[in-house]
Structure 1
Amino acid sequence: MLVIRPDNVGDVVMAGPALRSLRRAAPRARLDLLATPAGAAAAALLPEVDGVLTASVSWQKTGGEDVPVTDDLDLVERIGWGGYEAAVILTSFSQAPWPAGNLCRLAGLPVRVGMSKEFGGAGLTHWVPSPPDETHQVDRALHMLERVGVPPVEGRLRVRVPAEAARTARRLLGGGPTGDRRVDGQTDGHEDGHADGHGRRPCALILPGASCSARRYPADRFAQVAGLLTAAGLRVLVAGTAREAPLVEATGAGVPGAVLLPGRFDVPVLAALIDAVDVVVCNNSGGAHLASALGTPVVVLFAGTEQVEQYRPRFGPASILTVPTACSPCRQFACPFAHDCLDIPPEQVAAEALRLTDECGGPWWRTPAGARDAR
């Protein structure tokens, strides 16, 4: 089977329950994922995935890019080489499965499953009408599979942190009690203990990046959040991809003691860092869904580009901060106005991060509803 989800890291993480459902229904099948270069990086966290077909697909291009027809023809050939018997196309409510379905039809796949509001001809052999727009992305995928006869699973996000990624995260964190945790989430019986009993310093991870500028809380405000958390006694790490290095620098450069990690790791190491810290502060991005999967408390600065209910972290302690606006949901890549949906005082963001840190304790003693059953 080929599961098609050519989107970002968070979208692939949220596809996990659907992949788990397919794996349970067809335990001996080869289950491959077609993903973008960004989304493919999350495949290592999903044990159900056997292989990855990486492609920058034409139907996800933005900005009027001219995509050579040969790109689609090459993808048809690559899909055909896979010998797949079925394609399962996962989409958000605003995306159509028909372009992917037609490419798979040309590649000779006899079964093609997808879901949308509109009808698109022969591209799909199994077309499922969409549920309500506000349906969470996890539930949307499971709904589609159930409608074509695949028994559903519970919708909790689960990721597996590779041991090597955990070791790299430990090096980035500088060792210490956080780095001494085993990758399976159990403690090693170290003597550092809880923060209140043995002086362990809680750690916050700030992720200022997102897939587009419309989803990003301003870097100068992230910097104020970082300063407030440091002043409250938290150790602050600021991380991002190589492209997000200016955001990382703008967020943490002026914060005493902040550890800046621009472009120094891959997605599995990011997951390991998220698993190790006490709280994450981020935009509506892959970091929020990784935190949800790992049970790490997270404060999400949620822009008005999307409906909150479609992407809300549901499987760990989370605080969603947003400002309702008349233009939301806008689905814009760049805000044409004053970014009012993210006009959130840094003091409120820091207060929520500190509240979650205090209420949820540290990564070693999270409840079983969090990181301990996430693998």
Structure 2
Amino acid sequence: MRPPSRPPHNILIIHTHGGMGDLLLSSVLAEALHRCNPDCRVTFWAQQKFAALLDHHPFVDARLDLDPAAPLRDNARILRAEHFDAVLIPWSVSRHAWLTWLAGIPVRVGQGGRLTYSFLFTHPVKVRSRQGDVTSHWTDSQLDYARIIGCAAPSDLLPVVITTPEEREWAGNRLQELGFAGKRPRCGLHICKGLAVDEARWPLDRFVDIAVGLLGQGFDVILTGTANEQPLTAQVAARAQAMLPTDASARLIDFAGASTLRETAALIERLNVFICPDTGTGHLAAALGVPVVSIFPVRSDIPARWRPAIDAHRIIRPVRYECAGACVKEKCPRFTCLLHIDPDEVVAAAREIAKKC
């Protein structure tokens, strides 16, 4: 597949599916395109609930906010008016393939091997994970969408999220209000994995043990999560605090659902270390430069592909599994693998990589 005769100048990246981590890991494409052609203009169309993380990104020149449910011809008319000369769709779906074809964008890059729509792409990409690759990090796989059009993207590009001075000031003031203004190290603890789980399926015991271990080692702990996850974080907070001695100096605050996404980012940026299962919030912490202890509890997890994109990280796996054979995390009834995570190993990893603030 030959790249275009000259580097594209006005480029659209579409990433409206998947989770927050998927969006952040694909955002390295913007830097790759600018390195290839410093004068190019990169526009991102992302899921509305995560798109704000691209604000102030040094290589994202504009954001596009289309109604994904609008008629194809209406959205195609909008895209045609923008005069894009290339589009990259790392999370390809049939609707976007047809949309960009209808819009007449001359260079269209998307997933190959899809019988119903890959023929609409001028540059179909062989998706490494579908070829059996389990060693490449997802950021490097995403960069294939730039390489196929002639951008020699290096493998070491990393996602970044940029907060504003006002957001950082808000985070500092908020931490002070919560009593986190001392010199104790601060650790974020995110207990969910981005799945629709409840207490019956998602064991909380190990996260309680991790929280107690962190507090015992002198960490202030901030629980993060969405409003939907707050019933679970509230239980972890209550149980952990009940296990602490009355004279304990370290503090634990449940902050789930209490801030916007960008406010949460500014808060995480003020932490010394972040602990979470393999989920988008861990990728957010890494993109903010915060060391991450990432728990990969499920046998089918692939840490080499989904590890946090930051040197200061540690991977935690269960010491054993009760289930036999392959597993599908979306269908797991109990997640007993979490019960075989060693809390002491998690806390020790956090102490080892926590940054000095």
- 1:73 CA drift (Å): 4.9
Looking at structure 2, the residues matched to 313 and 206 of structure 1 have their Cα atoms a distance apart, in angstroms, of 15
SS in structure 2 of the partner of residue 221 of structure 1? helix
Check whether the contact 2:314–2:349 (CA below 8 A) recurs between aligned residues: no
1:102 to 98, 101, 106: 98
- 1:155 CA drift (Å): 2.2
Deviations 1:227-266 (A, max 9, x none): 2211222111112222222222122134333112122223
Looking at structure 2, the residues matched to 259 and 176 of structure 1 have their Cα atoms a distance apart, in angstroms, of 8
- 1:334 CA drift (Å): 4.1
**Which residue identity lines up with residue 88 of structure 2 in the other structure?**
V
Check whether the contact 2:54–2:161 (CA below 8 A) recurs between aligned residues: no
- 1:175 CA drift (Å): 6.7
Aligned to 2:187: 204
SS in structure 1 of the partner of residue 44 of structure 2? strand
Looking at structure 1, the residues matched to 334 and 13 of structure 2 have their Cα atoms a distance apart, in angstroms, of 38
Aligned to 1:60: none
Looking at structure 2, the residues matched to 122 and 143 of structure 1 have their Cα atoms a distance apart, in angstroms, of 18
Check whether the contact 1:279–1:356 (CA below 8 A) recurs between aligned residues: yes
**Which residue identity lines up with residue 120 of structure 2 in the other structure?**
G
Looking at structure 1, the residues matched to 277 and 287 of structure 2 have their Cα atoms a distance apart, in angstroms, of 16
Looking at structure 2, the residues matched to 287 and 263 of structure 1 have their Cα atoms a distance apart, in angstroms, of 13
Aligned to 1:182: none
- 1:117 CA drift (Å): 3.5
Check whether the contact 1:214–1:333 (CA below 8 A) recurs between aligned residues: no
Check whether the contact 1:31–1:51 (CA below 8 A) recurs between aligned residues: yes
TM-score of the pair, normalised by structure 1 = 0.76
Aligned to 1:47: 58
Looking at structure 1, the residues matched to 114 and 336 of structure 2 have their Cα atoms a distance apart, in angstroms, of 33
Deviations 1:62-110 (A, max 9, x none): xxxxxx7x5545543443443322111113xxxx454422211112212
Aligned to 1:319: 314
1:4 to 10, 14, 19: 14
- 1:362 CA drift (Å): 3.2
Looking at structure 2, the residues matched to 326 and 77 of structure 1 have their Cα atoms a distance apart, in angstroms, of 52
The alpha-carbon distance between structure 1 residues 76 and 148, as it changes in their structure 2 partners (threshold 3 A), is same
Looking at structure 2, the residues matched to 146 and 87 of structure 1 have their Cα atoms a distance apart, in angstroms, of 13
The alpha-carbon distance between structure 1 residues 176 and 248, as it changes in their structure 2 partners (threshold 3 A), is closer
What RMSD, in angstroms, separates the aligned Cα atoms of the two structures? 3.0
Check whether the contact 2:275–2:293 (CA below 8 A) recurs between aligned residues: yes
Aligned to 2:4: none
- 1:209 CA drift (Å): 3.2
Check whether the contact 1:158–1:293 (CA below 8 A) recurs between aligned residues: yes
Check whether the contact 1:37–1:56 (CA below 8 A) recurs between aligned residues: no
Check whether the contact 1:203–1:279 (CA below 8 A) recurs between aligned residues: yes
Q: Does 1:28 align with 2:39?
A: yes
- 1:183-198 equivalences in 2 (<5 Å): none
- 1:218 CA drift (Å): 3.0
2:163 to 158, 161, 164: 161
Aligned to 1:195: none
- 1:207 CA drift (Å): 1.4
Aligned to 1:190: none
- 1:47-66 equivalences in 2 (<5 Å): 47-54=58-65, 57=68
Deviations 1:275-332 (A, max 9, x none): 22122111211221123233422222224364222211242322222346655462x5
SS in structure 2 of the partner of residue 174 of structure 1? helix
Gaps of 5+ in 1: 58-67, 180-198, 365-375
Task: Calculate percent identity across the aligned residue pairs.
Answer: 26
Aligned residue pairs, count: 325
Looking at structure 2, the residues matched to 116 and 219 of structure 1 have their Cα atoms a distance apart, in angstroms, of 41
TM-score of the pair, normalised by structure 2 = 0.79
Aligned to 1:290: 284
